[in-house]
Structure 1
Amino acid sequence: MARSAAPDLSVERELMERFGGPVIGMDEAGRGAIAGPVAVGAVWVDPASAGVPSAELEGVRDSKLLSPARREALYAGLKEGAVGAVGLAEASEVDEHGIVSALRLAGMRALEQLPAAAAVLLDGSHDWLSTPVQEDLFAAPVAGPELPVSVKTKADMACWSVAAASILAKVERDRLMEKLAQRLPGYGFERHKGYGTAEHSAAVRERGLTGAHRRSWAIGGA
């Protein structure tokens, strides 16, 4: 299999020119899990950036393409060499607001930790960050930023800031799930990270749901 091309800042630069200021790339982790928080990583890029912030970070890729050890190494580099943050929305907030609004809530918590920007770039084809024209009638409203939001399919593969954000979100969420495994042993959180695997479903049937589970979701065996 051919190795994927390294992400760069070409899309971010286009957005910087269009909106006249820094851009924040964002990506999420844990959206499809049945337990644990949803995490949103965010990385701020300045118009003066000529390329990747440092040589140590040239290996940044979409987190799904990296081994756990490589993610950890790049995470350490990102914490030192980039302006980034992670926002979380807990399982109870997913239940209260719904997953899309919970993503928005986590995204806003990440944005609050970063310098001001002119625009935001999201991975995918759906803008989950902006305040919707019509809120979900069955979920509490969550406001988004007063910033233009652009979406790009496979931005986590092509755009450096989004790929870097995916690493931050993935590593921090995985660490939280490993800590949760120590507090709630027997569910295998350290292995499946809260996703609905056969092991996880069997543990729920045997032990029941915990406060870390998204109770509004249809969880098999619960």
Structure 2
Amino acid sequence: MSLLEDVDLLDEPGTATPRRTRATSGGTGRRAPHLRHERTLLRAGARLVAGMDEVGRGSLAGPVSVGVVVVDARTRACPQGVADSKLLTAAQRTALLPALGRWGLAHAVGHASAAEIDAVGIIAALRLAGTRALQVVEREVGPVDAVLLDGSHDWLTPPAQGELFAPAVPEPTLTVAPQVHLRVKADMTCASVAAASVLAKCERDAIMVAWAGEHPAYGWESNKGYASSDHVAALREHGPSPVHRRSWRLPLGDVIG
């Protein structure tokens, strides 16, 4: 059993509270994300733990963005209402930003552009964005020891075999490479990951809304670059913009009536 596999069985250490009595998020009936996974890593020797989550991986246009929130042993419970960004409305996410700005030791959002995604592929672009975010928090609080990453695939750690050729985009480096801990649905259970998802979603959405003013045909103010029907129709009529991911199989051609 891994360090984190049994953490969900109990509430805080030394208690035996069953799952059904856990606190819920903002009275919605959802289980509120907690810091038990982060505290497990801190008790195991980590000084700083970062929760990370990405947004924009499946978008047709715009950057892929990675949020990071750093906590330590002194960090208290996350602000009420924090949850996986996909479970919140835009208004709920925006309302959380002031409290999230005061919570944790440091936070940042890193981005990799559509051009960088085209140059290196989506996995390497995720690593670029995530490492850029970690560089920001490292300058504020020092090297992060452990990262809690949502999902079952470690896209943050560089390939063990290295690059056969010079990378198309130089990769940033960290003072110390953190140990990555994967957890499926971490954005729903880990407070630092849920907070990171909200920050990343808000920042990326703001970028897409700003670009919608420059490229109004694609409806980015509402679809944020994803493959909605209006976005697909605009691509077929107008072709791709400079911030579309040209290496992807974009739905181009005549508009289907």
Is the structural similarity TM-score above 0.5? Answer: yes
Of the candidates 149, 153, 156, which is equivalent to residue 122 of structure 1?
Answer: 149
Matches within 5 A, 1:113-192: 113-114=136-137, 115=141, 116-134=143-161, 140=168, 142=171, 145=174, 146-192=177-223
Matches within 5 A, 1:39-50: 39-49=65-75
Q: Does 1:26 align with 2:48?
A: no
Matches of 1:143 and 1:130 in 2, distance apart?
Answer: 12
Give SS of 2:91's match.
helix
Answer yes or no: is the 8 Å Cα contact 1:131–1:142 preserved in 2: no
Deviates more, 1:193-202 or 1:24-33: 193-202
Give SS of 2:42's match.
helix
Matches within 5 A, 1:61-76: 61-76=83-98
> In the alignment, what sits opposite 1:77?
99
Answer yes or no: is the 8 Å Cα contact 1:36–1:194 preserved in 2: yes
Deviation for aligned residue 1:3: 2.3
Q: Does 1:14 align with 2:45?
A: no
Give SS of 1:44's match.
strand
For the aligned residue pairs, the C-alpha RMSD in angstroms reads 1.8
Answer yes or no: is the 8 Å Cα contact 1:19–1:119 preserved in 2: no
- In structure 1, stretches of 5+ residues that fail to align are none
Answer yes or no: is the 8 Å Cα contact 1:25–1:42 preserved in 2: yes
Answer yes or no: is the 8 Å Cα contact 1:23–1:121 preserved in 2: yes
Deviates more, 1:87-96 or 1:142-151: 142-151
Matches of 2:172 and 2:100 in 1, distance apart?
Answer: 28
Q: Structure 1 176/143 Cα, relative in aligned 2: closer, same or farther at 3 Å?
A: closer
Matches of 2:163 and 2:228 in 1, distance apart?
Answer: 29
Give SS of 1:200's match.
helix
- Alignment identity in percent? 50
Of the candidates 121, 124, 141, which is equivalent to residue 101 of structure 1?
Answer: 124
Q: Structure 1 137/207 Cα, relative in aligned 2: closer, same or farther at 3 Å?
A: farther
Answer yes or no: is the 8 Å Cα contact 1:174–1:193 preserved in 2: yes
Answer yes or no: is the 8 Å Cα contact 1:130–1:144 preserved in 2: no
Give SS of 2:97's match.
helix
The count of aligned residue pairs is 217
Matches of 1:52 and 1:24 in 2, distance apart?
Answer: 15
Deviation for aligned residue 1:75: 1.8
Deviation for aligned residue 1:143: 6.3
Deviations for 1:121-178, whole angstroms, at most 9, x for unmatched residues? 1000010000112357697474665111111000000000000000000000001100
Deviation for aligned residue 1:182: 0.5
Matches of 1:174 and 1:213 in 2, distance apart?
Answer: 15
Answer yes or no: is the 8 Å Cα contact 1:104–1:143 preserved in 2: no
Q: Structure 1 136/198 Cα, relative in aligned 2: closer, same or farther at 3 Å?
A: farther
Letter in 2 for 1:72: T
Give SS of 1:19's match.
coil
Letter in 2 for 1:60: V
Matches of 2:36 and 2:216 in 1, distance apart?
Answer: 45
Letter in 1 for 2:66: V
Deviation for aligned residue 1:27: 0.2
